[in-house]
């Protein structure tokens, strides 16, 4: 009888764990990230400024910087140049998805970003601000220098911070790019 109970429980546990594949993704949820196989369709050219390797998008507008208290995205390239670089319209395939957490650290200097491993280096001024997000790594034969799309939620207290939802990513990208889930 005990063996039968163990087999039934193992089957139920296995079934429950595999049910996540049956759940329809919710683009409004902060818990759901775009999976590998997602397409990012860049609809308009983006210009990466000289001396930079990324161009930020927020509220549907391309910017040099971003408001850290609102969701934002950036397209990143691998090569630094003293000339403007153009990312041409293309459909990029997402080949890797990676969560990110960054912490804002203040040490009597301008704001700096530190990796998650430096928790507590806030200069003694209290709890640091944190941002969560996602790197969507691309595999492109046409533009191999275009590395990834990174989207972040708003900087917030550690207990309130959330990754951006797919809908927030789409709002940040505006009509520059579309996220197409598989």
Q: For 37, list phi and psi in degrees, rounded to 5.
A: 100, -10
Average pLDDT over residues 92-112: 76
Alpha-carbon gap, residue 97 to 118, rounded angstroms: 23
Provide the domain count of the chain: 1
Q: State pTM to two decimals.
A: 0.76
Whether 8 is in a domain gets the answer no
Is residue 147 in a domain? yes
Q: What is the pLDDT of residue 141?
A: 95
173 vs 1, residue with greater confidence: 173
The C-alpha atoms of residue 31 and residue 99 are separated, in whole angstroms, by 11
- 134 inside domain: yes
The answer as to whether 3 is a domain residue is no
Contacts of 19 (CB under 8 A, 6+ apart): none
pLDDT digits (tens, 9 = 90+) for 33-86: 999 999 999 999 999 999 999 999 999 999 877 888 899 999 999 999 999 999
Round to whole Å and give the CA distance between 58 and 11: 46
Which domain does 129 fall in, by range?
Answer: 33-180
């Amino acid at each position: 009888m005990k063996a039968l109970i163990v087999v039934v429980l193992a089957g139920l546990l296995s079934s429950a764990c595999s049910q996540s594949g049956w759940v329809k993704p919710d683009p409004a949820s902060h818990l759901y990230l775009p999976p590998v196989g997602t397409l990012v369709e860049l609809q308009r050219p983006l210009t990466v400024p000289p001396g930079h390797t990324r161009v930020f998008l927020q509220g549907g507008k391309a910017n040099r910087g971003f408001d850290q208290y609102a969701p934002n995205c950036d397209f990143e390239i691998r090569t630094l140049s003293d000339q403007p670089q153009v990312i041409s319209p293309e459909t990029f395939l997402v080949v890797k998805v990676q969560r990110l957490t960054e912490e804002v650290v203040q040490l009597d200097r301008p704001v700096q970003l530190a990796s998650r491993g430096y928790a507590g280096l806030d200069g003694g001024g209290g709890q640091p601000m944190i941002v969560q997000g996602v790197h969507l790594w691309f595999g492109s034969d046409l533009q191999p220098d275009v590395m990834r799309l990174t989207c972040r939620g708003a900087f917030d207290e550690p207990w309130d911070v959330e990754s951006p939802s797919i809908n927030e990513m789409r709002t940040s990208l505006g009509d520059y790019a579309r996220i197409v889930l598989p």
